Amino acid sequence: MSALVGVILVACGMVSSGCLMSAFEKRVDAALDDVLPALERLCGVALVSDQLPTVAESSLIDFGDIFQEEDRRREYLLYNAMGGVVSDYDSYASEITRRSVGHLGFYDDRSHSIWVRSDIDDGRFHEVIAHELTHAWVKVQQPLWRLERPRRLSDSPDAHLARLGIEEGFAMECVSRYRKDRWDRVYRDVEKDWFVAVGEPQDTTVMVDPRTFDFIDRASGWIPSLADGFREQYLRDVVDFGTVVNDPSFSQIQTAHLLSISEVPRDTQFGALLLREALTLHGVPWPNAEAVARSVGHDEFEITEAQSGRLCSVLRLVFENGQSFPARWLSPRDAMSKWAASASKQVEFEGDDQVLVSECISFS
């Protein structure tokens, strides 16, 4: 008897019609029976019964409870401050919710819950459970890692992206090992298409400016890219997840280092990726934007709450003077000036190597 069934029987006493497992619960129970021992054997991810997260159907999600309004507003302000959002906040929030509904599953660490769609085939269902259980294991078994990781992208963008990328890379590798193991155990001699992808939702009722989500889509793509980078190192035994979570030197790891941009210092809070993408979005050629982003020697980023429901962002960038730019390229000051003109932002320059970008938005 699986742990989940055992919990249900204890809670119900004698099984009655009101306590029978639903089809979804039975499916979850079957998935846990297969996934839990495999993850422990393949990745060292072990959860006992009282550590298991709640599993619920994503069709029943109240996304207003999962995604807190303050988090959405701060994220919107971050993207808006970089000139990446031109839609109004309500349209942005509605579109984010619509896109979230299309996810196959996710783990919410605040409620220790896994949400998964029930309209997917068994192969994908098992893999989603395996992936999200890995995140749950990190929360339960590696609490310091989760505590040190900025919960919100807007708190410290670079550290948030780096740590989430590492965790995603570990979860991706565990699922990869589970997929191969399950194929060998279950599907090798079965002639059927066991892995069926689910199409993207066709709901197009929310209209936003296309440029807004060109930038957002690139931003959401950074995490898988970072995860692939960590996973590749993990596969080659260059680094393991245990080293990352226990070695203090990894507590300051940045997105730049995962992308092998070794010359970027560790005290970049905002990070090179967001700056590079913002410059590229507003007309700075990619190689030039990459060079400018790599030349950041120090940055500070903060979002504060002002009066009348306003949120204000402040970003200070200090560029290294040693970076050499070809004559045909823009200097950091000129690149930031081009960005500011295109994005309609106000910037303050302190010489050629420091820039201050600040903005406030009212949400009331």
Contacts of 279 (CB under 8 A, 6+ apart): 288, 289, 292, 293, 335, 336, 338, 339
Closest by CA position to 320, among listed 343, 298, 336, 338:
298
Strand ranges (E), the chain: 54-57, 105-108, 113-116, 296-305, 310-319, 347-350, 354-362
Q: What is the pLDDT of residue 333?
A: 93
Q: Are 133 and 114 a contacting pair, CB within 8 Å?
A: yes
Run of H or E including 16: none
Contacts of 114 (CB under 8 A, 6+ apart): 53, 54, 55, 56, 105, 106, 107, 108, 129, 132, 133, 136
Q: What is the pLDDT of residue 289?
A: 92
pLDDT in tens, the chain (364 residues): 444 433 333 344 444 444 567 899 999 999 999 999 999 999 999 999 999 999 988 776 666 666 678 888 999 999 999 998 888 888 888 887 777 766 788 898 888 999 898 888 888 899 999 999 999 999 998 888 877 778 888 888 888 888 888 999 999 999 999 998 988 777 665 544 444 444 444 444 555 677 777 777 777 778 888 888 888 888 888 888 888 887 766 656 677 767 666 565 566 788 888 898 899 989 999 989 988 988 888 899 999 887 777 899 999 999 987 667 888 899 999 999 999 999 999 999 998 899 999 999 988 7
Whose tokens are 């410059």? That residue is 279
Task: Give residue-wise pLDDT tens across range 218-253.
Answer: 777 788 888 888 888 888 888 888 888 877 666 566
Q: What is the pLDDT of residue 159?
A: 85
**Quick one: DSSP state of residue 359?**
E
* Alpha carbons 26 and 175: distance in angstroms, whole number: 21
103-108 long-range contacts, CB within 8 A, separation 24+: 103/58, 104/58, 104/128, 104/198, 105/58, 105/129, 105/131, 105/132, 106/132, 107/53, 107/132, 107/135, 107/136, 107/139, 108/66
Closest by CA position to 239, among listed 223, 225, 257, 222:
257
Q: At what angle do helices 210-235 and 157-182 cross, to 10 degrees?
A: 60
Q: What is the pLDDT of residue 194?
A: 40
pTM score, two decimals? Answer: 0.80
* Alpha carbons 312 and 303: distance in angstroms, whole number: 5
Terminal-residue alpha carbon distance, the chain: 53
**Quick one: DSSP state of residue 238?**
S
- List the strands of the sheet with 310-319, edge to edge: 296-305, 310-319, 354-362, 347-350
Q: At what angle do helices 69-81 and 89-101 cross, to 10 degrees?
A: 110
Q: What is the pLDDT of residue 53?
A: 95
